[in-house]
Chain A
Amino acid sequence: MRYAILVCLKDLLQRMRDRTAILTAIVAPLALTALMGFALGGSHGGSGMRLGIADLDHSEESAAFVRFVEQQSPRGTVLIEPVDSLAAAERMIKEHAAECAVVMNTGFAKALISGDKPPVEILAARGEEFAMLATRGLLRDFMNRAAMPRDRVTPEVAPVTAGGQMRVVDFFAMSMAVLFLNFGVLSGVRALQAEIDLRTIVRLVASPARPHAIVAGKFTALLIIGLVQMGTMIAATSLLFGTHWGNRLATAALVFTSVLMAIGLTAFLMSLAGNADQGNALATLVIVLLSIVGGQFLPPQGLPDIFETLSRLTPNGQSFFGFMDLSAAGAHGSLLTIAEPLAVTALVGFIGIALAGLRANATLQRMT
């Protein structure tokens, strides 16, 4: 135990010396969250989206869509502005009275029932692409529910995705937290690889400290780095941007498994490379690719279905959607809400750590 603490403290001291790592772990995600949130959040500065809705179908289904949007926006993040025609919706967008507008033309209900493409137009002001994506996400969510058995298509159904109700700044708070968690942990894993590259591991193994104490110390340091980083991001975005992360216990659990996932993923990628520089380059490339696919740069709810499916296949996507779902569920969120993300991220973490450990041990045997 004593040796593990010594190794852990030494590693943390080294991380504290690395100002680039602190920038990557804390400053960069916060700055990007603020920048992207305010830049893409529209004229309301990210505090909410004004959505014009023209119900020209006057059906039960079109009215259900309006209620669905209201129900999806419990904190008033989507402000509905009713209009009575396509022209009125266009005028509203032109005069910047709304960021986006939905026009449900005659035949909306009939198309929903028959499963045809509904006659809907979505209008958005220039520079409000994010609002348009969010609106498309809302509409698609509604249509997916409409495709369910009739008795389940009710406004009272709890949201399964959060795409429509997220503020831009909230979206980026969560996406940047997950993205930079990987980078933050990567800097720690890189230091581990450097320990092998510089052969300091030889002196460590030759010391009275048992190997499992060394591994425990190093793992604990990585865990602390990840937890502090995520904790800081959650606290800072809550205070600075008013982001609601949802149920605390469930959030804490998902933070823990997400950190495990980041350690496992980056450690495994690092172990595939010949040295710390190669490993860093490989891991950076994979993290960026996974983040693109995992929806950390654009909300996949606004994109074709295949993107959301792909996003949920990535471990970081699982973590990200887990946080989004928890936030969307608000007070109703629990560990059950994120059972799948918890299981997937933990599994990826354990497998990655185990594989990286095996490869590191083989490297050490070759090295000596």
Chain B
Amino acid sequence: METKVETMPPAIGMTASEPSAPMLVVRGLSKSFGARVAVEGIGFSIAAGEIYGLLGPNGAGKTTSISMIAGILVRDGGEITIDGVDIDVGPAARALIGIVPQAITLYLDLTARENLDFWGRLYDLSGTALRAAIDTALEAVGLTKRADDIVGTYSGGMQRRLNLAAGILHQPKLLILDEPTVGVDPQSRSAIFDLVERLRDAGTAILYTTHYMEEAERLCARIGIIDSGHLIAEGTRAELIGNLAQDTRIEIGVGRGDSLVRAQRIVSALEGVQLATVENDHLHVVADHGANRLPAMLTALLNAGTVADSVRVVEPNLEDVFLRMTGRALRD
């Protein structure tokens, strides 16, 4: 019997700088639309030089939360301070924030430079400082050569990068990125990641919402998992996954059709097995300390005349964390 055992590589290292005093503090944030509760009791903080990931499926309350933090949406309850300034102060607090909405919030009939000029002036930049800020932002997103082209002629990825440039033009202390890589090509995606990491290293506090688990794993020092308007878990990737350490997922290949169904029945009956499902012609098993129970599973299958042709032990990731905590996949 040839048994192949694979282990998923560990997550890419988190390189966040040491947290300092909180740049953003959110407490008890709540918002309802009529009878529908969109966000309830959310609280977290982000330090300067830290990337905090807000992870959740569509409709979980991410955009509502950041809209309140950015002062766009009036909250029903809770407190928000940025660098010690209450968001309710208005312009003075909003000037500390840079926002990159999920949509391309640019004027497509203006050039990139005209767009940045307008957004820069709205954040009280002018003269030489404004021109320098525009040049720096354009260079940071690799659009210097296309600066005087109409934005409507840009590719989706270029527009996405300019969208980011408009948010960082005034060097905000808190940068809110709402799913900034949706629909972009790998090259632009990589450029956005690099820029976000440079901003973090420069001391910017970054609130990053996404439903791409791999983005959160690469960029975020801490992650908050939001579902149905509630923050259901928070911590570093290691801390979140550590909670599932004893739940191991095992994929076993045992042929197709009846063999799979028989194998599912046999494995389900074993001690410590929490879940056994058939997906993509494989038996997916979740078990307490699954690796230790693997010999017993294989022996039981062998005794029943079923030979496993492949076995893969999968370490839990954030997707598993989310699945375990909500019963749903992150991209549902």
Judge if A209 is at the interface, Cβ distance under 8 Å: yes
- Stretch from B7-15, B95-103, B189-197, B219-227 forming part of the interface with A: B95-103
Judge if A289 is at the interface, Cβ distance under 8 Å: no
Closest B residue, CB atoms, query A209: B122
Contact of A3 among B99, B114, B122 (CB under 8 A): B122
Which residues of the partner chain A approach B97 to less than 8 Å between Cβ atoms? Answer: 206
Given contacts A207-B94, A208-B91, A210-B91, contact A10 B103 (CB under 8 A): no
Contact of B119 among A3, A199, A207, A365 (CB under 8 A): A207
Judge if B124 is at the interface, Cβ distance under 8 Å: yes
Which residues of the partner chain B approach A203 to less than 8 Å between Cβ atoms? Answer: 99, 101, 105, 119, 166
Known: A199-B101, A202-B72. 7 other contacts (CB 8 A): A14-B107, A17-B110, A18-B109, A198-B105, A206-B97, A208-B94, A210-B91
A128 vs B90: C-alpha distance when bound (angstroms): 66
Which residues of the partner chain B approach A207 to less than 8 Å between Cβ atoms? Answer: 94, 119, 122-123
Interface string of B115-159 (1 = CB under 8 A from A): 000110111100000000000000000000000000000000000
> Please, how many residues of chain B have a CB less than 8 angstroms from a CB on the other chain?
32
- Stretch from B63-71, B289-297, B315-323, B324-332 forming part of the interface with A: B63-71
The answer to whether B73 and A199 have CB atoms under 8 Å apart is no
Contact of B94 among A18, A206, A366, A368 (CB under 8 A): A206
The answer to whether A6 and B99 have CB atoms under 8 Å apart is no
Q: How many A-B residue pairs have CB under 8 A?
A: 71
> Please, how many residues of chain A have a CB less than 8 angstroms from a CB on the other chain?
22
A207 vs B97: C-alpha distance when bound (angstroms): 8
Q: Pull 18 A–B residue pairs with CB atoms less than 8 Å apart, ordered by A.
A: A6-B118, A6-B122, A14-B110, A18-B109, A198-B103, A199-B101, A199-B105, A203-B166, A204-B122, A206-B70, A206-B71, A206-B94, A206-B97, A208-B91, A208-B95, A208-B122, A208-B124, A365-B73
A156 vs B70: C-alpha distance when bound (angstroms): 69
The answer to whether A210 and B122 have CB atoms under 8 Å apart is no
Judge if B108 is at the interface, Cβ distance under 8 Å: yes
Closest A residue, CB atoms, query B98: A206
Closest B residue, CB atoms, query A203: B105
A204 vs B118: C-alpha distance when bound (angstroms): 10
Interface string of A192-230 (1 = CB under 8 A from B): 000000111011111111100000000000000000000
**From residue 7 to 48 of chain A, which have CB atoms closer than 8 A to chain B?**
10, 13-14, 17-18
Closest A residue, CB atoms, query B101: A202
The answer to whether B63 and A368 have CB atoms under 8 Å apart is yes
A17 vs B151: C-alpha distance when bound (angstroms): 13
Judge if B278 is at the interface, Cβ distance under 8 Å: no
The answer to whether A209 and B119 have CB atoms under 8 Å apart is no
Which residues of the partner chain B approach A209 to less than 8 Å between Cβ atoms? Answer: 91, 122
A10 vs B121: C-alpha distance when bound (angstroms): 11
Judge if B60 is at the interface, Cβ distance under 8 Å: no
Closest A residue, CB atoms, query B103: A199
Given contacts A208-B122, A368-B63, contact A202 B105 (CB under 8 A): yes
Q: What's the nearest-Cβ distance from chain B to residue A216, in Å?
A: 14
Judge if B104 is at the interface, Cβ distance under 8 Å: yes
The answer to whether B103 and A368 have CB atoms under 8 Å apart is no
Which residues of the partner chain B approach A17 to less than 8 Å between Cβ atoms? Answer: 109-110
Judge if B106 is at the interface, Cβ distance under 8 Å: yes
Interface string of B80-95 (1 = CB under 8 A from A): 0000000000111011
Residue of A198, A200, A202, A203 with most chain B CB atoms under a 10 A cut-off: A203
Which residues of the partner chain A approach B107 to less than 8 Å between Cβ atoms? Answer: 10, 14, 200
List the 3 closest pairs (A to B, CB-CB), nearest first: A208-B91, A199-B103, A368-B67
Which residues of the partner chain A approach B118 to less than 8 Å between Cβ atoms? Answer: 6, 10
Residue of B71, B91, B99, B121 with most chain A CB atoms under a 10 A cut-off: B121
A6 vs B117: C-alpha distance when bound (angstroms): 10
The answer to whether B121 and A6 have CB atoms under 8 Å apart is yes
The answer to whether B105 and A210 have CB atoms under 8 Å apart is no
Closest A residue, CB atoms, query B70: A206
Q: What's the nearest-Cβ distance from chain A to residue B164, in Å?
A: 12
A135 vs B124: C-alpha distance when bound (angstroms): 63
Closest A residue, CB atoms, query B122: A207
Closest A residue, CB atoms, query B94: A208
The answer to whether A210 and B67 have CB atoms under 8 Å apart is no
Residue of B63, B91, B95, B104 with most chain A CB atoms under a 10 A cut-off: B91
